[in-house]
Chains A and B, each alone.
Chain A
Amino acid sequence: MKKITDLIKSGKTLVSDGAWGTFLQAKGLEPGECPELWNITRADDVLDIARRYIDAGADMIETNSFGGSVFKLKNYGLQDRVFEINKAAAAISRQAAGPDKFVLGSIGPTGKILMMGEVTVEALYDGFKEQAMALEAGGADAIMIETMTDLEEAILAIKAAKEHTRCEVFCTMTFDKTLTNEFRSMMGVSPTDMVMQIVDAGADLIGANCGNGTRDMVGIVKEIRQANGDIPVLIHSNAGMPLYKDGKTVFPESPEEMAQFTHELVEAGANIIGGCCGTTPAHIARIVEIVKK
């Protein structure tokens, strides 16, 4: 099978999928329930989410494994089922993707802070290694390390995936805008810092996800491109900042509003565009229409 980064190098702009977490909730996932356990207990619902994004025209689909590290699964007493749960996540997305679309095995942050001694470097590396290997075993084409805020944790995840799988390895971080209009992660990392260190660590593609809406992502892509003109870039934006309405949280950006930034993102240098929290198959379908025009 072709590599995603080869398609990008040949000049293609690709479309990724939209939100999983908010979609699982729409299907009845309760707060406090382990989303990744649905790969075993509600596999049909998870498959349906993956299929809906493929049907919307996405070129690639993520896996329901964002919180699938041993550190997160431990909160639910599932620390002994890491391999099983992640492999199942990848197998479900593989089934939806078929042979022609790509599967990105999702790995999220562990929630443990290295510099506070909450976890050791070795334990983090081993945790990421186990998750990445399971995702590859289930059929992932790439490992999508995402929503990172700490460089050291991101680098350990990249190395673990690079050294123990044959998958392409992608990494995105999450940035907020500071009062002085700079982009920084929670841990103080700028897009420029990210480019320097994450590419050196071996990432085949970098980018940004989540955050405060699509408009800010244009600035982030510009900063990345200023630091590195070649590395493929992926953007998964939230559908804006969540609002609270009648006892529910809603995301304000409609497919149309979000899609209007697609041209700007591509012009700024983004190669893959998808969505994060609050985006739906309708958002992805609209982005596909614009990109494939």
Chain B
Amino acid sequence: MEELYGKIAHCVEFGKINLASPYPPDMKGQEGADELTKKAIDEGFPPEEVLKKGLVVGMEKIGVKFRENKVFVPQVLMSAKAMSTAMEHLRPFFESGAVKRKGIFVIGTVAGDLHDIGKNLVSMMVKGSGFEVVDLGTDVNGQQFIEAIKQHPGCYVGLSALLTTTMVNMEKIVAEIKAAVPDTKILIGGAPVSEEFKEKIHADFYSRDPQGAVDFLNRSVA
């Protein structure tokens, strides 16, 4: 069992999606996260363990490597693709309630900003840690965030911005959310954003890398 979990984690960490995928080159011709996860489920391994001891472990490893600048965006994207492909085999267990999500994370790029690469990275990493992610897309205003928060009570919220001109909108959106649903925990991120900025606009958490957001969410639900 443990050996198969280790293999699944390895495939996710190194972005090995399935048998057909040529990436990474040194794993060519081997089974990927897709086949191995299916095998684990078919053999009756507990889905919860497949998630926690396999997929989540792999995503956390790539998240830490990304934080340490040992890998860059392309490697994280391949890992996320491997993870999401494997996750399909777990979908029935999420739907039946046999496997529980850790919590719900609502994320969007703030009003006026159409950039989505950073937002997508965080979204994939959080999903890969076992949360349900509600992705509102780009150019999202305060009202849209508030509606989603009301639909998903107790959710955590992530705001993303790439531009120095749109990070300003974060302040307004944080204030609107806190006024409408005061206990909401709001995470912010993006190239121009900083810890100091987080303090100024009264958001709850800032991280310069996606894994920081994952760690914060895991601490919060623990």
Chain A positions within 8 Å of B, measured between CB atoms, are 21-22, 25, 30-32, 72, 75, 111, 113, 115-116, 149, 178-180, 182, 184-188, 241-242, 244, 247-249, 277-278
Asked whether A244 lies within 8 Å of B197 as measured between CB atoms, the reply is: yes
Say yes or no for B68: interface residue by CB 8 A criterion.
yes
- Please indicate the chain A residues that have their CB under 8 angstroms from the CB of B148 in the complex: none
Q: A178: nearest residue on chain B (CB-CB)? A: B69
Question: Interface digits, B60-85 against A, CB 8 Å rule (1 contact, 0 not)?
Answer: 00000000110111110110010000
A-B contact pairs, 13 of them (CB 8 A): A21-B165, A22-B164, A31-B168, A31-B169, A111-B115, A149-B73, A178-B69, A186-B73, A244-B194, A244-B196, A244-B197, A249-B164, A249-B192
- Of all A-B residue pairs in the complex, the 3 with the closest CB atoms, nearest first, are A31-B112, A188-B72, A178-B69
* Known pairs A244-B196, A247-B168; A184 contacts B77 (CB<8 A): no
Say yes or no for B114: interface residue by CB 8 A criterion.
yes
- Please indicate the chain B residues that have their CB under 8 angstroms from the CB of A31 in the complex: 111-113, 163, 165-166, 168-169
CB distance from B119 to the nearest CB of A (A): 12
* Known pairs A31-B111, A31-B163; A115 contacts B69 (CB<8 A): no
Given A187-B74, A244-B167, 15 other A-B contacts at CB below 8 A?
A22-B165, A32-B111, A32-B112, A111-B114, A111-B115, A178-B69, A179-B68, A179-B69, A186-B73, A187-B72, A187-B73, A188-B72, A244-B168, A244-B197, A249-B192
Give A182 to B115 CA distance when docked, in angstroms: 26
**Out of B77, B163, B165, B171, which one reaches A113, CB within 8 Å?**
B77
Chain B positions within 8 Å of A, measured between CB atoms, are 68-69, 71-75, 77-78, 81, 111-117, 139, 163-169, 171, 192, 194, 196-197, 200
**Out of B68, B81, B171, B192, which one reaches A242, CB within 8 Å?**
B192
Main secondary structure of the interface of A (DSSP, over half): loop
* Known pairs A30-B112, A31-B112, A186-B72; A113 contacts B117 (CB<8 A): yes
Asked whether B114 lies within 8 Å of A75 as measured between CB atoms, the reply is: yes
Give A113 to B116 CA distance when docked, in angstroms: 11
Asked whether A184 lies within 8 Å of B72 as measured between CB atoms, the reply is: yes
Q: B110: nearest residue on chain A (CB-CB)? A: A31
**Out of B111, B113, B167, which one reaches A249, CB within 8 Å?**
B167
Give A25 to B169 CA distance when docked, in angstroms: 14
- Please indicate the chain B residues that have their CB under 8 angstroms from the CB of A244 in the complex: 167-168, 194, 196-197, 200
Q: B170: nearest residue on chain A (CB-CB)? A: A244
- Please indicate the chain A residues that have their CB under 8 angstroms from the CB of B164 in the complex: 22, 242, 249, 277-278
CB distance from A66 to the nearest CB of B (A): 12
CB distance from A210 to the nearest CB of B (A): 10
- Please indicate the chain A residues that have their CB under 8 angstroms from the CB of B72 in the complex: 184-188
- Please indicate the chain A residues that have their CB under 8 angstroms from the CB of B117 in the complex: 111, 113, 186
Asked whether A188 lies within 8 Å of B71 as measured between CB atoms, the reply is: yes
Most buried by A among B78, B139, B163: B163
- Please indicate the chain A residues that have their CB under 8 angstroms from the CB of B71 in the complex: 188
* Known pairs A25-B165, A31-B163, A249-B192; A116 contacts B77 (CB<8 A): yes
CB distance from B188 to the nearest CB of A (A): 12
Give A277 to B73 CA distance when docked, in angstroms: 23
* Known pairs A115-B74, A115-B77, A180-B69; A248 contacts B168 (CB<8 A): yes
Give A185 to B117 CA distance when docked, in angstroms: 14
Give A242 to B116 CA distance when docked, in angstroms: 20
CB distance from B167 to the nearest CB of A (A): 7
Give A115 to B73 CA distance when docked, in angstroms: 11
CB distance from B12 to the nearest CB of A (A): 16
* Known pairs A31-B112, A32-B112; A249 contacts B77 (CB<8 A): no
CB distance from A218 to the nearest CB of B (A): 21
CB distance from A217 to the nearest CB of B (A): 17
CB distance from B189 to the nearest CB of A (A): 14
- Please indicate the chain B residues that have their CB under 8 angstroms from the CB of A242 in the complex: 164, 192
Give A72 to B171 CA distance when docked, in angstroms: 26
**Out of B68, B69, B81, B115, which one reaches A116, CB within 8 Å?**
B81
- Please indicate the chain A residues that have their CB under 8 angstroms from the CB of B68 in the complex: 179
- Please indicate the chain B residues that have their CB under 8 angstroms from the CB of A180 in the complex: 69
Give A54 to B56 CA distance when docked, in angstroms: 55
Q: A210: nearest residue on chain B (CB-CB)? A: B191
Q: B200: nearest residue on chain A (CB-CB)? A: A244
CB distance from A78 to the nearest CB of B (A): 13
